[in-house]
Amino acid sequence: MFYVKENINDTVEVKVELNDENVFCTCHDCGKEVSVDLSVVFADGMGDMYGTAVCCSACSKKRMEALK
């Protein structure tokens, strides 16, 4: 199990398990919140936690159209 851990204060620590429903990022182009399945993002072995950008479906579509 992977989880994030955050100390709220000196006595309270919160651990939240990461799964395919509770990981989000903001769209690289428009800033919209995007649900992310990390197993898919990193499936090709090329992604990393800092350099990988994710776009929402609308912005992904725009980028694909621009490549045509």
Task: Write out the residues near Zn ion by the rule CB under 5 A.
Answer: 27, 29-30, 32, 56, 59
Rounded Cα distance between 45 and 19, Å, is: 18
25 vs 27, beta carbon nearer Zn ion: 27
Q: Least CB distance from residue 17 to Zn ion, whole Å?
A: 27
Residue carrying structure tokens 């651990």: 15
13 vs 37, beta carbon nearer Zn ion: 37
3 vs 24, beta carbon nearer Zn ion: 24
What's the chain's Rg over C-alpha atoms?
15
CA angle 6, 7, 10 (to 5 degrees): 175
Q: Least CB distance from residue 1 to Zn ion, whole Å?
A: 30
